[in-house]
Amino acid sequence: MTDETATAQRLVRRFARETNLLVAGRDFSVVGTDAVADELRRLLPALGAHLGDAGVVFAPGETPEILLDGHALPVRETAEDRVDAAGRHMPVATALATRLREAGTVRGLRIGIAMVLEPKTAQLALLLRDAGAAVAVYAHPDEIDVEVAQVLRARGIPVDGDPSLSGAAERAAAVSFLRRGFDLMLDDGSHLIRLAHEEGLARELRGAAEETTSGLTPLRLMEREGLLEIPVIAVNDALTKTSFDNRYGTGQSCVFAIADALDAAGIDLRDQPAVVVGYGPVGEGVAAHLRALGVQVGVAETDPVRALRAAHDGYRIGRLHDLAPGALVVSATGAPHTVDAVVLRAAAIVAVAGGVPHEVDLDPATLRPFAGESGASSPFVERAGEGALVIARGGCVNLSAGEGNPIEIMDLSFSVQLFAVEHLLAHGLPAGVHALPHETDTVIGAAALALRGAPIDQCSPAQVEAQREWRSPRFRGGSA
């Protein structure tokens, strides 16, 4: 990679890192005619950005080099800064929470939030609190930003969870959280929903909402076996969640976190080919962002249709054991034991974008510090015995080595969560996993576009009539 390419990529990653904002779909302009400026003009559209004369301004070599809304990038030194900055970039969720407040929908209800605790989750809790709910938050020991937890506590929202807990102590803390007594539970991974069933506490809940694919899988199994006792909204299945959160949010945040960690250790992301394991929405996003940064990408997939789609998207398809030697392997399956010991020995680097426990068959005792040829090191890059370098100890890399998904992405995802709350309360749903109605995506998508000032087309009267005729049970193409 040329110095100009490296500089351009670092500028883009710096913008994302210092703001936690999304590149895709955002307006950028580039000042200058040198090689770095030219590379920025190539790179930004490849990442899904729009080039023009407005928006974020990159001015390579000038002071400041990056302008946001006409000013230098905002300082986010404290957790208070980060929480408040998240609130400024979550307009759709804010508008929906205002609707809940004005209608009195959640007034007096007890809502538990069991998610990765970082600034955007804090904003979800604050929005529901301000809408009239009594809110408490739980986060697993490896998913809690202790400074953000302190901010919430200072603002009157209880937070349970401690990074020092493990084993029985962690479970006891989670059970204690459930015993606070909730009407609704908003979960990520369905850990608390399943624990409530194990502890005989599920029937106290009116319902729950689940954020992730990996969390919905066991809930659907429970439903099939007649074990699910409450209605659960499949938040992940809404298009405005999975099509954006997974592809654009997780894709950007994971790939940029990998690049930042390797850069600190003196390793160029493009020093070796990459293999993305799993070509669901997360894998699609990871592969697309790696390719935009100039990495040669292969895909390993067990589903033939997804593998075929990856092939048509231009990626080399193969078996993981064949593609892994000397490669950066990124697991995007959200399934345990994706990266086995054979792959861990053969790969150059291993990182995880899925984020379930044991996605990498890794013994933490084998990890040892790594320093590059120049002596550069990163706290997130370690050597697994005599095998691959492992980033963030095999944890979900955008959370373990970054700040999670960009704010605007979580604005959409948490808007779906708010719709789920409204839907659970408005309908007496039976026990089971339920999809949100189609209008959820329509309303959220329209609101997000309106805030961007982006008009969309409408069907003409003739089109509406033609569609009505096409849906008619009459014989098409002639009279009945």
Q: For 47-67, how does the pLDDT look when each residue is reduced to its tens digit (9 = 90+)? A: 999 998 888 999 999 999 999
Summarize the confidence of residues 106-116 as an average pLDDT. 97
Average pLDDT in the chain: 94
User: Do the beta carbons of residue 216 and residue 433 sit within 8 Å?
Assistant: yes
At residue 281's C-alpha, the angle toward residues 275 and 283, to 5°, is 10
Confidence (pLDDT) at 476: 52
Q: What is the value of pTM for the model shown?
A: 0.93
C-alpha span between 132 and 126 (Å, rounded): 10
Please return the burial class of 83, using the count of CB atoms within 10 Å of its CB with bins 0-12, 13-18 and 19+.
buried
Residue 478 has pLDDT above 80, yes or no: no
Confidence (pLDDT) at 467: 82
Q: For 358-381, how does the pLDDT look when each residue is reduced to its tens digit (9 = 90+)? A: 999 999 999 999 998 888 999 999
Confidence (pLDDT) at 464: 86
CATH of domain 250-400: 3.40.50.720
Give the pLDDT band (50/70/90) at residue 1.
low
Altogether, the residues listed in the chain come to a count of: 480
User: Do the beta carbons of residue 134 and residue 184 sit within 8 Å?
Assistant: no
Residue 254 has pLDDT above 90, yes or no: yes
Residue 42 has pLDDT above 60, yes or no: yes
Residue 71 has pLDDT above 60, yes or no: yes
Q: For 86-103, how does the pLDDT look when each residue is reduced to its tens digit (9 = 90+)? A: 999 999 999 999 999 999
CATH fold match for the domains 80-240+405-448 and 250-400? yes
Q: Which fold has domain 80-240+405-448?
A: Rossmann fold (3.40.50)
Percent above pLDDT 90 for the chain: 88
Summarize the confidence of residues 264-285 as an average pLDDT. 95
C-alpha span between 80 and 147 (Å, rounded): 8
Confidence (pLDDT) at 375: 87
Q: For 336-346, how does the pLDDT look when each residue is reduced to its tens digit (9 = 90+)? A: 999 999 999 99
Which amino acid is present at 240? T
Confidence (pLDDT) at 474: 61
Give the pLDDT band (50/70/90) at residue 468.
confident
Domain boundaries, the chain: 3-72, 80-240+405-448, 250-400
User: Do the beta carbons of residue 378 and residue 301 sit within 8 Å?
Assistant: no
Summarize the confidence of residues 262-276 as an average pLDDT. 95
C-alpha span between 435 and 449 (Å, rounded): 23
